[in-house]
Amino acid sequence: MHIGGAHEFPFGRVKLVPAFHGGRVEGDETGRYTTNPAGIVVTIGGKSVYHTGDTALTLEMQLLAGRIDLMLLPIGDNFTMGIEDAVRAVEFVKPKSVIPMHYNTWDLIKADPQEFRRRVGNAAAVTILKPGESYTLS
User: Tell me, what CATH number does 83's domain have?
Assistant: 3.60.15.10
Cα angle 7-13-19, degrees, rounded to a multiple of 5: 80
Q: Which domain holds residue 37?
A: 6-25+32-126
Residue 135 lies in a domain: no
Please state the domain count of the chain. Answer: 1
**12 belongs to a structural domain:** yes
Is residue 19 one of the residues assigned to a domain? Answer: yes
Cβ atoms 80, 54 nearer than 8 A = yes
pLDDT interval class at 28 (50, 70, 90): confident
Cβ–Cβ under 8 Å, residues 100 and 86: yes
- List, for residues 52-110, the tens digit of each pLDDT value: 999 999 999 999 999 999 999 999 999 999 999 999 999 999 999 999 999 999 999 99
Looking at the domain assignment, is residue 137 inside a domain? Answer: no
Could you tell me if 2 and 16 are in contact, meaning their C-beta atoms sit under 8 angstroms apart?
yes
Q: Between the ranges 21-25, 30-34, 131-135, where is the mean pLDDT highest? A: 131-135
Output phi, psi for 66, to 5 deg: 75, 5
Residue 33's pLDDT is 67
